[in-house]
Structure 1
C-alpha cells in the first residue's frame, strides 16, 4: 500500500511539472527581434530564449568570434603587414593603408570598437594566411573549443554571405566564452579609443549606444553591433549589476533602436528574476530509485528569485527549474557510492573464569590418570616378559 502511494505521488508531481513547463513556454517577452538568447555569464544558464536555434545571419557580431580566435592563437604584439585585399574591403573600416604595419592588438581594437572590416581581414590573413583558410580554422575552433553546433562562417567580418550563418544561442555561447578572456573583455568594453594610423588619426568610439551611454543602461559592460541590409540589426551585450552578470544577443531587428529596446527588456528580466546560489560540496540529491548524487566541489548555480525545484535523474544530471516548472539550468553531479555493509564478527561467548579454570583442572587430571594407567600396563607387560625368559 505504501509503495502504491509513493508511485501515485510521483506520477501526480510529474504531470503537474509538465503542465507548468508547457504553460511557461507559452509566455513570451515583448521582443521585436526575430531571435534572442539571454544567458547567465558565469553559470551559462539559459534564462530566456526566442527562436534561439533558428538559422540567422550575424553581420558584424562575427567579429566576436574572429577576435577570441585570434587572441588565443596569435601573438598580440606581432606586427602585421596590411594587404591590398584588406584595404579594399567594403563597409566600415579603420582606413588602413596597403603595406602599413600594425600590431595585432591594435587591429583587434579597430575591428571590435569601430567594426573595421579592413582590420578583420588583416587579422585573418596574419593568423592563417588567407580568408578561406581562416574561415575553415575558425569554424573548427568554434565547434571544438566552444561547442557550437549551428554556426558556419565564411569570412572574418560578417559581410553577408548565404553560407555565413549562426543562431542566437550559438552567438550567445561564443560571446559568453570570449568575455572570460581578459584581453577580449577589455576591448569589448572600450568606449573610446585613440587611433593613430598612417591615414587616420582620431578617437574611435564604440557603435554600441548602451555602452557609450546614449541609450542609458549603466549596468552594460561591453557590446558589439552589427548590420547589413540582408541581415538587419544585430546586437550582443554584456551587463553586470553587482550580483549577477548577463549576456544578451538579439538578431534581426528591423529598426536600430529596436535591438536596444529588446536588449533592455532581456536584461531587466534577467536582473529582476534570477540570482546565484551555491550547492555545497557533499550535498546529497536522491533519485526516485534511491540513488544518491552530490557535487565534488561547491557549485555556483542560477535560480529564480521566487524559488526553484531541483530534480536529479538516474544519470546524475541535476535539473534546476523555476517555480513555474521551466528549466533554468542543468549540472552534472557525481554518483555517491553506498557504504558497504559491515559484517559483524562472530564472537565465541566468553566463559566464566572460574568455570574455565575448573575445566582445565579436570582435563589435566584426566591426562595424568591416563598416563598412570598406560605406565602401569607397560610395567606389567615387562615383568611378564622377564618371567617367561
Structure 2
C-alpha cells in the first residue's frame, strides 16, 4: 500500500488539476461574453424617465435599445416639422426657388420667423427658419408652395411617412404641429421618420446648425436652434424639439460617437428641463451599454460546413449589428440567407445575404476571420483548450515522477522483521 505522505501529495496534485480546470472554464466564459460575467458587467441599468413615452434606436440598423410606451399615440407638436422639412428637400427641384408668403402663412399661430404677406424667401431659407427657429409661418409657406394648401400637403405627409419610413400609427393634418385632436404619432414612428430623414445630408446639416443669420422684410436677426443638446452634449447631431399645452414637451434627438449614431424620441415630458435630462439619460444608456459591430463587408462570403451540394452566402452590402458592450455575439446565417445575431439581450435579425446555390460558382471561397469563428468556434477557445491540455500533461508528469520516487524508495527500504 502507498505510504500516507505520498497519498497526500497525490491528493494535492489532483486538487490543483481541478482548480486549473475550473479557472480555465470561467476564463473561457468571460472571453466568450458569458452573460453571467462580462456581458452583465457591460450592461447598464435602464434609465427611469419622467416622460410618458420614449424610445432609443440605433440609426444605422434600426435596432431598438430602449422603449417605453413606444406605440402609444400622442401629440407631436413641432417635431412634425421634421416631416415637412425632409419632404421639402426631397420634392423641390431647386432649393433656391422663391416662395411667396401668403396671408394665411403671415398670420399663422405660434412660433414664427415673422414673414410678411407677399414677402419672398428662398425655399432653403424657409426650411432653415422652420427647422432651426421652429417657424410655423415658414412651415405653412412651404406646404402651400409644394401642394397649394396645408390640407393637400398633409395628405402628402401621411403617404410619405407610411411609404418611406414605415410609420403606420401616425396622422398629420398640418405641416407645423399646431394642436389638433387628429394629429398624432408614436415614439416608434418618429424614430423611424428621423432615421430616414438623417440619411439626407442637407437635412442633417440644417438640424445640426446652431445659428444662422436671418434677413426678412419685417425681421432681421439670427436664427437660434431651440435644441439645447447641440453644443452641450458630446456628439449631438440634431434634431428637433416641440411644445404645446396639449402635447407637453417633445424631443427627437440624435448623437454620434465613434461609428454609432443613436436616435432618441421622447413624447409628453412634463417640463423643458426634464425632457433634456431624460434625453441625456437615454443617450448615455445607449453609448455606455452598447456598441456597433460590423459582421460582414460587402462581397464577403459565408460558407456552410463542408457538405457536398450545400449553398454559400454573399453579403451584397455591409451588415452591422448592435450588441451589448464587451459581448461576443453568436452569428448564424439561416438557409434563407437571413443573418441572425444572438446576444444576452435576445435574438435580432441583422440583415440578409444572397444565397448562392451549388454549381453557380465553383471557385473555392476564402474564409474570413469571422467565418472561421463560425465554423470552428472562437479562436480564444482553441487557445484555452491548448493551455489546459499543457497543464494537464504537466500535472500527469508530476504524478508520474512522484510515483517513480515512491517505487525507488520502496525498492531500497529495509524489510521489516
TM-score range for the pair, normalised by the shorter chain length: 0.7 to 0.9
Match among 231, 241, 259 for residue 225 of structure 1: 241
Match of 2:316 in 1: 296
Larger Rg: 1
Match among 23, 40, 44 for residue 58 of structure 2: 40
Q: Is the 8 A contact 2:338 2:349 kept in 1?
A: no
Distance 1:267 1:223 in 2: 14
RMSD, matched Cα = 2.2
Match among 147, 167, 170 for residue 151 of structure 1: 170
Q: How does 1:123-162 map to 2 (within 5 A)?
A: 123-162=142-181
State the Cα distance separating 1:284 from its structure 2 match: 4.1
Between the two proteins, the alignment pairs up a number of residues equal to 309
Q: Deviations over 1:139-176 (max 9, x none)?
A: 11111122221111100000111111111111011111
Q: 1:76 to 1:47 in 2, by over 3 A?
A: same
In structure 1, stretches of 5+ residues that fail to align are 1-16, 18-26, 343-389
Partner SS, residue 267 of structure 1: helix
State the Cα distance separating 1:220 from its structure 2 match: 0.8
Q: Is the 8 A contact 2:332 2:341 kept in 1?
A: yes
State the Cα distance separating 1:109 from its structure 2 match: 0.4
Q: Is the 8 A contact 1:238 1:247 kept in 2?
A: yes
Q: 1:225 to 1:293 in 2, by over 3 A?
A: same
Distance 1:339 1:76 in 2: 52
Distance 2:98 2:238 in 1: 27
Match of 2:354 in 1: 334
Q: How does 1:167-246 map to 2 (within 5 A)?
A: 167-211=186-230, 213=231, 216-246=232-262
Match of 1:360 in 2: none
2:331 pairs with 1:310: yes
Q: Is the 8 A contact 2:164 2:196 kept in 1?
A: no
Partner SS, residue 169 of structure 2: coil
Q: Is the 8 A contact 2:65 2:286 kept in 1?
A: yes
In structure 2, stretches of 5+ residues that fail to align are 1-34, 36-44, 363-417
Residues 295-304 or 331-340, more deviating: 331-340
TM-score, structure 2 normalization: 0.70
Q: Deviations over 1:244-269 (max 9, x none)?
A: 11111111101111211111111111
Match of 1:322 in 2: 343
Q: How does 1:1-389 map to 2 (within 5 A)?
A: 28-74=46-92, 75-211=94-230, 213=231, 216-280=232-296, 281-284=300-303, 293-307=313-327, 308-313=329-334, 315-325=336-346, 327-338=347-358
